[in-house]
Amino acid sequence: AQSVAQPEDQVNVAEGNPLTVKCTYSVSGNPYLFWYVQYPNRGLQFLLKYITGDNLVKGSYGFEAEFNKSQTSFHLKKPSALVSDSALYFCAVRAPNAGNNRKLIWGLGTSLAVNP
Amino acid sequence: DAGITQSPRHKVTETGTPVTLRCHQTENHRYMYWYRQDPGHGLRLIHYSYGVKDTDKGEVSDGYSVSRSKTEDFLLTLESATSSQTSVYFCAISRGEVTDTQYFGPGTRLTVL
């Protein structure tokens, strides 16, 4: 079965330190991978996506993600965390060749807390 | 929020009453989606539409119906609301290419008493 795992419910980092939010997936073929962020009482905002090409993808607000096909991972990273990065982060995957099906497979989310 | 509005933004209703949530887009996107978000479950797809009058079920469609008579509007109806349908409901849109990003509306918080 196709699935996405975000192994950490919560990640705590100090402001100014690098952060990593982990995502692994189980999808056949070459998947399309997405990261979204949700601030309190807001909708989800798109951060970045991997379709093909360079394994390191740069996105909004200084975030980047590294696609690793052998480890089936797509970890979200930022070199220096800000308190304002505190939010809920979702990883999502879409399988290719899905016909009319554009559905995303979602992880359960990781709550990031950046401490001053 | 990518030209997506949801109405109402908040609603409190009683068990057994019908409820309709509206999603409106100004982007002329082909695909529209309804999700619910609950603690511990993340986002779950209820229904989606790939064109006017073209809809399909998601993973948690029981108790919900949808309609799309115009490109810009996607309605979600709870025929007879239950307390288990208390949730935050999000609409999303995408252009339709398989590599497309989904963009989300601000959400509707529904409480069923």
Would you give the DSSP letter of residue B102? P
pLDDT in tens, A57-73: 999 999 999 999 999 99
Q: Could you tell me the mean pLDDT of each successive run of 10 residues in chain B, 113 residues long?
A: 88 97 95 94 93 93 96 97 97 86 96 97
In sequence order, which residues have a C-beta less than 8 Å from that of residue B20 and are 6 or more positions away? B75, B76, B77, B78
Residue B68 distance to chain A (closest CA, Å): 16
**Interchain contact, A34 vs B101, CB within 8 Å:** yes
pLDDT in tens, A85-106: 999 999 999 877 666 677 899 9
* Cα dihedral A91→A51→A3→A11 (10° resolution): -20
Judge whether A106 is closer than 8 Å to chain B, CB to CB: yes
End-to-end CA distance of chain B: 30
Would you give the DSSP letter of residue A51? -
Judge whether A43 is closer than 8 Å to chain B, CB to CB: yes
Nearest partner of B95 among B60, B71, B76, B75, judged by Cα: B71
**Interchain contact, A103 vs B101, CB within 8 Å:** no
* Peptide bond connecting B8 to the previous residue in cis, omega within 30 degrees of 0: yes
Judge whether B56 is closer than 8 Å to chain A, CB to CB: yes
Among A residues 65-84, those touching chain B with beta carbons less than 8 Å apart = none
Residue pair B33/B102 in contact (Cβ under 8 Å)? The answer is yes
Nearest to A44 among B50, B54, B90 (CB): B90
Residue with tokens 């307390």: B83
Judge whether B106 is closer than 8 Å to chain A, CB to CB: yes
CA A61 to chain centre: 13
**Interchain contact, B98 vs A42, CB within 8 Å:** no
Dihedral pair phi/psi, residue A14, rounded to 5°: -85, 145
